Amino acid sequence: MTDFTARKTLVIGGSRGIGAAIVRRFAKDGADVRFTYAGSHDAAQALAAETGTTAIKSDAADRQAVTDVVAAQGPLDILVVNAGACILGDALTLDPDAIDRMFDINIRAPYHAAVEAARHMPEGGRIIVIGSVNGDRMPFAGGAAYAATKSALQGMARGLARDFGARGITVNIVQPGPTDTDMNPADGPMAGAMKDFMAIKRYATSEEIAGLTAYLAGPEASIITGAMHTIDGGFGA
């Protein structure tokens, strides 16, 4: 476990799945955790009660809402951006408005949240964004727009790492492969195809993703920045 005692932490997109596991891990390790949610009110309130954290309703697709919620927390020690959308299908028939909303959530929200957090983040702060192995590899049809959003995070992290490096603030991307969540369950219809691509033929758990995130937020990772950290069972190998 990492000692995050009194480290002020904001998780954007924390009510379910990987986000909830991150909230639980950081709270268990002593952090002062707040997290946002959009539609999962009951899940968010239950998680907040379970972990002693604070749930904040905020739409990650709304740039002003994102920057407002970051600014309202005051100086943050750790920012984790987990909010994400996944739209797959024939590029010729997908709803352009839905694709633009995915771009807002997957690219614009992490960028604007990171910049706003860095305005007041103390020396040695941590910015971590949950991306996807699909930023490196898209092995099936229908994922062009989603993969584009995850690849964009890579350039963002490299650039912001240089922008904030003089203050010891690190910027990293965690890139999960297939992970057992309600969006992509380990026994779901896509599981067989996903496991075929993997060297270790099982889905990751949300807790494993949270563990890597905690490491990157901890003192041993103070020299790691501008990097992509793939945790995918060899999906992209």
* Active-site residue set: 146
CA distance 130 to 118: 18
CA distance 231 to 178: 9
Q: Which residues of 26-63 are buried (b: 16+ CB within 10 A; e: fewer)?
A: bbebebbbbbbbbebeebbeebbeebebebbebbbbbb
Indicate the SS3 state at residue 127.
Answer: strand
* CA angle at 140 for the pair 210 and 85, rounded to the nearest 5°: 45
CA distance 49 to 185: 25
CB count within 10 Å of CB 119 equals 11
CA distance 109 to 80: 11
